A and B are shown apart, each in its own frame.
Chain A
Amino acid sequence: MLANASRLTPYLFLAPAVAVMVVALLYPLGYAIYASFLDWNPSQRIGEAEWVGLRNYAYLLGDAAFRESFWVTIRFAAIVVTIEMVLGVGLALLLDRKLRGMTVLRTVFILPMMIAPIVVGLMWRYMYHPTVGTLNRTLTDLGLPPAPWLSDGDWAFASIIIADVWQWTPFIFILALAALQSLPRSAMEAARIDGANGWQLIWHVKIPLMMPVLIVTALLRLIDAFKVLEVILVLTNGGPGLSTEIVALRIARTAQEFRDLGVASAMSNLLLLLLLALTIAMFGYTRWADARAARLAAAKEAEVG
């Protein structure tokens, strides 16, 4: 009896946390999944909504606007993460040295990351302003024609990329710098003696050794980039046309403007599936790396024993 009780005790203590998780996490998730099978207008209660099965999903797959949105999101995420990785890692390689004032410089570099996205959006919107914005005023002062930062489709896409890169490169930078500083000093020295110049040292030793951290960092950033909303909402609200309408923004508009909660839920679920796939890829990579380390350790054990 006592043994039985003690075996159940852990679950007893876990119960409150499980309850909170069910209410706060699983309930809304289940709700969203359920809602995605309904034709549901916000003026209806959920019970009054009509069950339509997979019709919302079928509609989305056939909807050119949604496909465009999906494509914009993937392009946006791929481009920003690539640029941010190159810049972030590059900066880290440049700033990984002992110089006077480096601590201050590093702090300045990570400031953008600490600003609320909505504020970043507003800041860039004023800078991109066609007539009074800093960017166009500077161009005009230099005798150059002003650029249609937010009014032309391609320019607008580039503009949101610039804003995102500005805000999130520091994230890559601090993680890459931390990775760099934990690399074994003596391996670097050995490489110098082996005749490696600066580039060869970076290319053959530093980058390969940082790779595990860089892969996880890139995946984290990728997952985040798929969910970006506020900056784009403030900057372009998805326009002009659909040029910057990423999925997160389309979901918000479908729910609020088109008043179609069923389709909005279906879209959320599709985005969730994509992010889930990325997350699984990330865990998969970590598991693979761990398994590999374990295998190596086992091989070593066999050798020694």
Chain B
Amino acid sequence: MPQIVFDGVRKSFGPTEVLPPLDLTLEDGEFTVLVGPSGCGKSTTLRLLAGLETLSGGEIRFDDRRIDTLEPKERDIAMVFQDYALYPHMSVAKNMSFALRLARENKAEIERRVHAAATTLGIDHLLDRKPAALSGGQRQRVAMGRALVRDASVFLFDEPLSNLDAKLRARMRVELGEMRTRIDKNMVYVTHDQVEAMTLGDRIVVLKDGAIQQQGSAEELFENPVNRFVAGFIGSPTMNFLPATIQERDGALVAEGEGFALPLAGPRQAIESGAREVEIGIRPSSFTTDMGAGAPVELRVSVAEYLGAQSVLVTRCGPHEVLAEVASTRRFKPGETATFAVPPDAILLFDRETGRRLAVPQHPTGG
């Protein structure tokens, strides 16, 4: 279970640069999730680690051992593919034991490990089936099983749940979470789904255009995003962004824009750095009907999406579309204008040009 170090790793396909120099350290025994929109280089990073692509520059080390020049089989890794990549002509048992048979492991040991993994995954009754006779979820489990029997030191997952339907995906996500606590290995997981990232990852690495935007725990990314991209990518429904100007009123700072004027919780750095034109970020869940919690904002409801305990309101605040997530105890009608409160400390400030987070409050998280 090595520490995995990406040291200035670059990758280009012809003239197209996919990964600018990437520096990243994945600690021993950690479950790391690489997340980002499609084309952000997350899959390429994983494939470089697996040895399915060759580096254009830099190096990858397991502890102090350089591995990017090794063949995939010499790296002691197991991988689960997005399309499962099962061998269609082999039974489930043969699929799972393929690596062990190639390694000339003895028969009894192979059988023992295949059965152990199959029992863990609940596919022991399917061992004689061919992949064509399995459902999507079962194939998924076989693909996991094939990785599990390997007993490799690093497990790689390339969007393993994205071909499943929503219900099954949620179920497999839970099982993966359970499995992770039992298996003390380095796991690297690639996904474009921020929910998977937040629920599974010890450490989440947000990538965009091949560059790391921020890394940290789910809480750190959610509460203290370092820029507008991370703030918008993590969390659902998406954070609202509104252009605003910082004003000083009676010694307090106020963010003013079309349709709102919201007092801020004291981060004077915003003014000191000269950024008067900003974008403010408010999570939909920060709007509350408890008027004592903060300054009032008037929102005109255009659509109310009832989701059970919560409702998502699509509203207008001046010319801007604003999402608000509120308890369904009170029902809102389209066309209705309602007043909500926004707590001052729930408002994040971003540089309008660079998207950089301004005035990071109490708990700075490097990154």
Contacts and interface: CB of A to CB of B under 8 A. Distances in A.
Interface string A170-207: 00000000000000101101111111110010001100
A192 to B, nearest CB: 5
A297 interface: yes
Contacts of A22: none
Contacts of B146: 190, 194
B98 A204 contact: yes
B176 interface: no
A193 B78 contact: yes
B83 interface: yes
Interface stretch (B131-139, B212-220, B335-343, B352-360): B131-139
Nearest to B78: A193
Interface residues of A, number: 25
A64 interface: no
Contact of B79 (A193, A200, A297): A193
Contacts of A141: none
B307 interface: no
B88 A209 contact: yes
Interface in B73-96: 73, 77-79, 81-89
B133 A300 contact: yes
Interface residues of B, number: 31
Contacts of B166: none
A297 B130 CA distance: 11
Contacts of B150: 194
B103 interface: yes
Nearest to B138: A303
B58 to A, nearest CB: 22
A281 to B, nearest CB: 21
Contacts of B86: 187, 190
B72 A193 contact: yes
A30 B103 CA distance: 62
Interface of A: 184, 186-187, 189-197, 200, 204-205, 208-209, 211, 293, 296-297, 299-300, 303-304
29 contacts: A184-B85, A186-B81, A186-B82, A186-B84, A186-B85, A190-B81, A192-B52, A192-B72, A192-B73, A193-B51, A193-B72, A193-B79, A193-B99, A194-B146, A194-B150, A195-B99, A195-B102, A196-B102, A197-B73, A200-B102, A208-B89, A209-B87, A209-B89, A293-B132, A296-B130, A296-B132, A299-B133, A300-B134, A303-B133
